[in-house]
A = this chain, B = another copy of it.
């Protein structure tokens, strides 16, 4: 096999050829860092055993810019993002696949950093990357690295979490501070640098979800408020379930730095992406139990009830503002923050 000069080398078109250079890149970089027994099978498809039951599948393309940001990078994000989408069905994520689209001329050293970060996130989460693919596009036809990950998981009996299950009277819970990821990305963009120490909240939430569904198997909805932020997620759930929501601004946690950055930039934290937070809809009677379970988990320490589901044919999310007024919290219209994930 041709040798891979990771320290000084660049991605070349030949790395996507399927020939000798591709094999060198896969062996020397991807397989080396992501190594696990299933990936080591070395065929185009990876074989695994399952028990009878219900499974889930979810996929996400990751095009975040910049590739490295405070609190993470595209590698860890592509692991967390898909684990979370699987977890939001109440399932236990089992395996990930990863497909890379690399731009010719991208630094192999940077690529290795991304793959190492991916491997660490995957190991920490206990969800291995078991199969993958790499393609290379000409310089100017991509943007460094894009990563699409797909996750599969298994769903325990008795759990039926879905966006169409919100009912009037249900409690709306959010697991913590909102807006950190989006502001962390913005703070690292060229020309938009401002003085904040905000880190992305990028994290795998399947451990938190496992505790939650164990405590309250009848959770109605779970969703991670990524693109479009909490506002869009709540509107999606209203649309799917045919209900409205009433939320309370004072109960929604936003860090002072995030508030400040949003004021400076004319943004609303409700529309800013999160990558380590979840919204949960549950029967009102289970809310207190769920909050205490969530607060006992490192990723749910600031969990709080932020409102309630109501009967509303217009399917509106209405917020009681801090100043005593009410306003409709609509879907995100247009594009506030491109390429946030």
Q: Which residue of B lies closest to A233 (CB)?
A: B18
Q: A55-B47, A57-B152, A86-B45 are known contacts. Are A228 and B17 too (CB-CB below 8 A)?
A: yes
Q: How many copies does the complex hold?
A: 2
Of the candidates A43, A60, A336, A338, the one having the most CB atoms from chain B within 10 angstroms of its own CB is: A43
Collect the chain B residues with CB atoms within 8 Å of residue A163's CB: 42-43
Interface stretch of the complex, out of A137-145, A286-294, A309-317: A137-145
Tell me which residues across on chain B come within 8 A of A49, comparing CB atoms.
53-55
Interface 9-residue window, one of A90-98, A115-123, A195-203: A90-98
Check if B47 sits within 8 Å of A335, measured CB to CB: no
A332 interface residue (CB < 8 Å to B): yes
Binary B-proximity of A1-40 (CB < 8 A = 1, otherwise 0):
0100000000011101111111100000000000000000
Which residue of B51, B59, B134, B339 contacts A99 across the interface (Cβ within 8 Å)?
B59
CA distance A101 to B240 in the complex (A): 25
Residues of chain B lying within 8 A (CB to CB) of residue A332: 17-20
Nearest to A236 among chain B residues (CB) is B23
- Residues of B with C-beta under 8 A to A341: 135
Q: Name the residue of chain B whose CB is nearest to the CB of A86.
A: B45
Q: Is A150 part of the contact surface with B, judged by Cβ < 8 Å?
A: yes
Q: How far is the CB of A54 from chain B (nearest CB, A)?
A: 6
Which of A19, A153, A332, A333 counts the most B-chain CB atoms under 10 A from its CB? A19
* Chain B residues positioned under 8 Å from A56 (CB to CB): 45-48
Residues from chain B with a CB closer than 8 A to the CB of A333 are 2, 14, 19-21
- Tell me, yes or no, whether A214 is within 8 Å of chain B by CB: no
- Category for how many chain A residues contact B: 35 or more
Interface residues of A in 270-287 (CB under 8 A from B): 271, 273
- Name the residue of chain B whose CB is nearest to the CB of A17: B335
Q: A54-B47, A57-B152 are in contact. Are A162 and B21 (CB under 8 A)?
A: no
Q: Name the residue on B nearest A136 (C-beta).
A: B338
A45 touches B153 (CB 8 A): yes
Within 8 Å by CB of A336, from B17, B91, B140, B151, lies B17
Bound together, the chains give a CA A146 to CA B13 distance in angstroms of 16
CA distance A141 to B17 in the complex (A): 21
A45 vs B100: C-alpha distance when bound (angstroms): 21
**Cβ of B338 and Cβ of A16 under 8 Å apart?**
yes
A226 near B: Cβ within 8 Å? yes
13 contacts between A and B (CB under 8 A): A14-B334, A18-B228, A19-B232, A23-B236, A42-B164, A43-B163, A44-B85, A45-B56, A45-B58, A58-B97, A59-B99, A138-B339, A148-B148
The 10 closest A-B pairs by CB, nearest first: A18-B227, A19-B332, A18-B228, A148-B148, A150-B150, A45-B58, A59-B97, A61-B99, A141-B143, A14-B335
